[in-house]
Amino acid sequence: MCGIVGYVGQRDAAEILLEGLHRLEYRGYDSAGIAVFGENGIAIRKKAGRVTELAQLLERQPAIGSVGIGHTRWATHGAATDINSHPHVGGNGDVVVVHNGVIENYATLKDKLQERGYVFRSSTDTEVVAHLIAHQLEELIKLGDDPTDVKTAVTAVEASIKVLKGTYGLGILFRDLPGLLIGARAGSPLVVGVGKGEYFLASDSGPLVGHTSEIVYLSDNELVVLTPDEMKLTHRDSGKMVPSIQVLDQAAADSDLGEFEHYMLKEIYEQPTTIENALRGRLDDDAATAKFGDVNLTVQQLRRIDRVVLTACGTSWHSGLVGEYLIEEFARIPVEVEYASEFRYRNAPLSETTMIFAITQSGETADTLAAMRESQRKGHSTLAICNVVGSTIAREADGGIYLHAGPEIGVASTKAFTSQVAVLTLLALYFGRIRNMSYGAGQRIISHLRAMPETIQRSFACHDAVKEVAQKYYGADNFLYLGRNYNFPVALEGALKLKEISYIHAEGYPAAEMKHGPIALVDENTPSVFVIPRCGLYPKVMSNLEEVKARKGPIIAIACEGDDQIARFADDVIFVPDVEDYLQPIVTAIPLQLLAYEIALLRGCNVDRPRNLAKSVTVE
Ligand code: F6R
């Protein structure tokens, strides 16, 4: 949540910052602002609303200079107003700060600073950081330190962050040091882009694209001092560090909309490619199994595993549920799927033979990161199933599997879900093959997986039918999503997609569980979406469908091509290709993603930037 960007160099900072903020806007879009060092000091422009509104403000009131910081906000403390927008000013304009994270002890610090005469203008936690640094600066100047010396600024920042509790990624400018930008990180991501005579600071690699392909990923408790000619990196405990400069994969970090109207639609349609990327190089035909490069465990260690814990949030948690069904079925290993926000505080018993996976698209979700750290603290190596290369979880995990799905910008996760399911299928295959699964069964799974990109491509044929269904039901206030077995997590995911982007109340349920309560919601105005492809439980789901029909609930069925009886029972049918039951989630998720998208459009909602949400949830 919140994106920060910074620039020191020779070019027009405002232009670079604005472009960076557009790329970071998925992290929050309550307000946007920049501060640029100009001839007359630091000019601040900030505004509640989207980055485009900030751009309009800058047309009327340009900010000219070649050093600056910027911020796009997801409000945590204080409403989404102009005054609460970042950057925030400390002291009498001595310090200007942008911040991503949460300062947990801000109230105590604020009291102390107010007692000392600092005047607060906003209700944010960030303003505390700005005043705190200004205060430390003032103390150092009283002791005779030179405010135009970089060392004084660095000492003031170091002294300030020592007393902060919580999380932060910070970008800091000083009134008396025009060519200086300081960045600091604890718990919120921060990267530095290395250019020629210029440096970039950002919450992720997006703002670097097109400017440089050299990137440094900061770790927690690191502080970076940037001037146009130099980068100095220090760690709170180990002191001076040599930055590890890595090559940024420009194509992987790029996120252009192309021919599509929205990122969500683009990402839905990318799924044949993203599934292919998830499988690439991981199918071992000779051994009829899956192979992974970076799991960092021997076969002997993996064979000893007798329990798997999958921890995640939101959509990634739903893919974890599919993973539970897959691993238990293929490998007969008991699996638990834990909400990371619960797991991190629960003292769950974990034996030496328990394997823990954190599943995350962004690799920055605060709860998932904390759950991973908690299990590592207890001595358990934890693997990540992650999309964003170089993200905190990817770097801190003891090993892992990347999704290679490319940037997911739409706030509603789509392609990451299906890629996670594909990777979990590979993992289940691998675990199965080092246990009891036969060579022949392994081969069959491989050939079915290999066909998936083409199958997904065919499933887009349902889009017209989805549009008709959306047209018919977009005015409904409530929806039920029902499925069984592998399609129960898909029902949960379909309901989540609908509610997050169309603001319609939707509940996902195991189809048979519905009669234990939710069936009371059924009436002629509450559509039920039944995910009912052909599988062993087809007749059972059909009985559940009849139960809803008997109560006059409109029925939308997601069924397999060739199912010629479903139309007699459902009001509307959306057909998808017929695949093995364990691969159905990848196929049946697609019409549900499209349905949410089309309904949200008809209701006039902002599909890519739904209210109250942000793409990376980096606060607890
Ligand atoms: C829903 C959605 C969220 C995320 C959740 C976890 O469409 O995007 O529920 O799935 O915030 O995010 P990651 O996977 O980045 O850890």
Give the residue-averaged pLDDT of 269-275: 96
Residue to mutate (ligand 1; options 401, 413, 607; most atoms within 8 A of CB): 413
Residue to mutate (ligand 1; options 263, 321, 362, 367; most atoms within 8 A of CB): 362
Q: Whose CA is nearest to atom 7 of ligand 1?
A: 412
Alpha-carbon distance 587 to 582, whole Å? 10
Please give the mean pLDDT across all residues of the chain. 94
Cβ partners under 8 Å of residue 166, min gap 6 = 101, 102, 103, 104, 105, 106, 125, 187
**Position 456 confidence tier, pLDDT thresholds 50, 70, 90:** very high
Give the residue-averaged pLDDT of 51-80: 95
**pLDDT tens-place string over residues 147-197:** 999 999 999 999 999 999 999 999 999 999 999 999 999 988 999 999 999
Query: Worst-scoring range by mean pLDDT, 173-177, 251-255, 459-463, 559-563?
Result: 251-255
Q: In the structure encoding, which two tokens stand for residue 188, read together?
A: 């919120």
Residues lining ligand 1, CB < 6 A? 313-316, 360-362, 365, 368, 412-413, 496, 500, 616-617
Q: Is 236 left (phi over 0), alpha (psi -120 to 50) or beta?
A: alpha
Residue to mutate (ligand 1; options 26, 203, 313; most atoms within 8 A of CB): 313
CATH level 2 (architecture), domain 3-252: 4-Layer Sandwich (3.60)
pLDDT at 203: 94
Q: Whose CA is nearest to atom 3 of ligand 1?
A: 314
The rounded Å distance from CA 61 to ligand 1 centre is: 37
Instruction: Considering only residues 616 and 87, tell me which one the structure prediction assigns the higher pLDDT.
Output: 87
pLDDT at 253: 64
Residue 53 amino acid letter: E
Residue to mutate (ligand 1; options 267, 315, 417, 593; most atoms within 8 A of CB): 315
CATH level 2 (architecture), domain 458-610: 3-Layer(aba) Sandwich (3.40)
Q: In what order do the strands lie in the sheet with 95-100?
A: 88-90, 95-100, 168-174, 177-186, 222-227, 230-235, 239-241
Ligand 1 atom nearest to CA at 414: 7
pLDDT at 256: 77
Ligand 1 atom nearest to CA at 362: 15
pLDDT above 90 for 348 = no
Class (C level, CATH) for 257-450: alpha beta
The rounded Å distance from CA 420 to ligand 1 centre is: 12
Alpha-carbon distance 125 to 76, whole Å? 9
pLDDT above 80 for 252 = no
Q: Is 2 a catalytic residue?
A: yes
The rounded Å distance from CA 414 to ligand 1 centre is: 10
Looking at 2, 386, 462, 560, which residue is catalytic? 2
**pLDDT tens-place string over residues 585-607:** 999 999 999 999 999 999 999 99
Percent of the chain predicted with pLDDT > 70: 99
Q: Whole-prediction pTM value?
A: 0.86
Percent of the chain predicted with pLDDT > 90: 85
The domain locations on the chain are 3-252, 257-450, 458-610
Ligand 1 atom nearest to CA at 315: 10
Domains 257-450 and 458-610 share a fold: yes
pLDDT above 90 for 221 = yes
Q: Is 615 a catalytic residue?
A: yes
Looking at 47, 415, 497, 615, which residue is catalytic? 615
Give the residue-averaged pLDDT of 85-91: 97
pLDDT at 181: 98
Distances (CA, A) of 372 to 311, 351, 580, 618: 8, 15, 33, 14
| Main-chain dihedrals φ then ψ at residue 526, nearest 5 degrees | -115, 100
**Position 75 confidence tier, pLDDT thresholds 50, 70, 90:** confident
User: What SS3 class is residue 158?
Assistant: helix
How many angstroms separate the first and last alpha carbons of the chain? 11
The rounded Å distance from CA 310 to ligand 1 centre is: 15
**Position 613 confidence tier, pLDDT thresholds 50, 70, 90:** confident
Alpha-carbon distance 436 to 433, whole Å? 6
Q: Whose CA is nearest to atom 4 of ligand 1?
A: 314
**pLDDT tens-place string over residues 96-153:** 999 999 999 999 999 999 999 999 999 999 999 999 999 999 999 999 999 999 999 9
The rounded Å distance from CA 53 to ligand 1 centre is: 27
The rounded Å distance from CA 593 to ligand 1 centre is: 14
Q: Are 481 and 508 in contact (CB under 8 A)?
A: yes
The rounded Å distance from CA 275 to ligand 1 centre is: 18
